[in-house]
A and B are shown apart, each in its own frame.
Chain A
Amino acid sequence: DQQVKQNSPSLSVQEGRISILNCDYTNSMFDYFLWYKKYPAEGPTFLISISSIKDKNEDGRFTVFLNKSAKHLSLHIVPSQPGDSAVYFCAAGFSDGNNRLAFGKGNQVVVIP
């Protein structure tokens, strides 16, 4: 049972424009959400996270929005750069210290120069 879902497996965006990635989850007990970025032949790299007590977290060009009532989060990348071309994974977990994350299947982002 997929507890974290990422639809629209791939996204193409022009350099300088906004990339928006969406993620839905089913388990209302999740209280910590993360985005990871993955290049081929490398492990996922942590990008940004958000706790369920917040609805927005910003770090440079990356902003994550959380809508708890809709069990939905999104990642905004502004402006998109060619180096952002990668697979992005949404993950959900618990802030109790148990490191067990549920991942979505990923979104392939291609930024066109």
Chain B
Amino acid sequence: KAGVTQTPRYLIKTRGQQVTLSCSPISGHRSVSWYQQTPGQGLQFLFEYFSETQRNKGNFPGRFSGRQFSNSRSEMNVSTLELGDSALYLCASSGLAPDTQYFGPGTRLTVL
């Protein structure tokens, strides 16, 4: 079974721009969660989508948004990028229980 894939793997943007990251879950998984990893804060939950609906949301500003398509693929968008948005963005797909959260390799975003 193919794992979680994320594209692109690396991205460099400048302040004020916007960015879209993509995540393809494991086949059959309907839940996709997004996390931000920074050296100082560890992994922080952004949001979770299940069956095209946002089911959970973390404490991030409205500049961070996402969506999920009917094939369970998910995209995450960050608008008006700030330097502090530089981070590794991780996507995880899962079945119903927390222990089946499988992570992708992440997208390394650098904001200059």
Does the CB pair A95–B42 fall under 8 Å? no
How many chain B residues touch A (Cβ–Cβ < 8 Å)? 28
Does the CB pair B31–A42 fall under 8 Å? no
In the complex, A98→B54 CA distance in Å? 11
Does the CB pair B90–A43 fall under 8 Å? yes
Q: Which residues of A contact B35 (CB under 8 A)?
A: 101, 103
Interface size class of A (residues with CB under 8 A): 20 to 34
Shortest Cβ distance from B3 into A: residue: A43
List 10 tightest A-B contacts by C-beta distance, closest first. Answer: A43-B103, A105-B42, A103-B43, A49-B99, A93-B98, A100-B56, A44-B103, A97-B96, A99-B94, A32-B98
Given contacts A100-B48, A100-B56, A103-B45, 7 further A-B contacts (CB under 8 A): A43-B103, A43-B105, A45-B103, A49-B99, A99-B33, A101-B45, A103-B35
**A-binding residues in B (CB < 8 A):** 4, 31, 33, 35, 41-45, 48, 50, 55-56, 58, 90, 92, 94, 96-106
